[in-house]
């Protein structure tokens, strides 16, 4: 079964709003907020619901910037969720001015926090070959997306496949 998921790219003051997660066998890593579209819900409604649940923020504006196909069998964390096939819709989102007191209403599985990550540290992370020297840990597909978006600035509207 293929499912649609939404992801929010929220940037303010050269920082990216991220979900901090921890899982056995992986450790601490960061992910974009978002999740699966529910029946009878538009993608935009799913985006707003997921951001409210996971971040406690309201989306003011959103623009679809990327569509990615995600196949769990191609992912380094496939042991968590096997046989998953998603179409990720990534939106560039605006929220109210910089929110510092972030609190999830309904945390995602493995979610241990919410953090604003400096974009310069994200760039440093995706440019380092040695994983042990990276300031942050991202799933490989997100690592590749950040490299395209923040370093190469190739994402005008991207369509990536098979992550």
Euclidean distance between the first and final Cα of the chain, in Å? 17
Residue pair 43/34 in contact (Cβ under 8 Å)? The answer is no
Give the integer Cα–Cα distance in Å for 61 and 81: 31
Q: Which residue is associated with the tokens 């923040």?
A: 150
In a structure prediction context, what are the per-residue pLDDT tens digits for the chain, which is 163 residues long?
Answer: 888 999 999 999 999 999 999 988 888 999 999 999 999 999 999 999 999 999 989 999 999 999 988 776 655 555 555 677 889 999 999 997 766 677 777 777 788 999 999 999 999 999 998 888 888 999 888 888 898 888 887 655 444 433 3
Residue 69, H or E segment: strand 59-71
What's the pLDDT score for residue 31?
94
What's the helix, strand, coil split of the chain in %, to 5? 25, 40, 35
Domain at 2-160, CATH homologous superfamily: Nucleoside Triphosphate Pyrophosphohydrolase (3.90.79.10)
Give the integer Cα–Cα distance in Å for 130 and 133: 6
Chain mean position to CA 116: 13
What's the pLDDT score for residue 158?
44
């Amino acid at each position: 079964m293929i499912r649609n998921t939404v992801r929010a790219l929220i940037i303010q003051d050269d920082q990216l709003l991220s979900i901090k997660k921890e899982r056995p066998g992986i450790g601490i890593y960061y992910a974009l907020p978002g999740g699966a579209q529910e029946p009878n819900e538009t993608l935009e409604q799913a985006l707003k619901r997921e951001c409210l649940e996971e971040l406690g923020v309201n989306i003011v504006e959103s623009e679809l910037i990327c569509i990615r196909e995600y196949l769990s069998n191609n992912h380094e964390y496939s042991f968590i969720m096997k046989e998953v096939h998603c179409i990720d819709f990534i939106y560039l989102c605006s929220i109210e001015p910089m929110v510092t007191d972030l609190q999830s209403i309904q945390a995602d599985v493995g979610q241990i926090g919410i953090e604003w990550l400096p974009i310069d540290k994200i760039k440093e992370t995706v440019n380092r070959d040695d994983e042990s020297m990276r300031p942050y840990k991202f799933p490989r597909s997100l690592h590749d997306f950040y490299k395209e978006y923040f370093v190469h600035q190739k994402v005008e509207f991207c369509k990536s496949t098979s992550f």
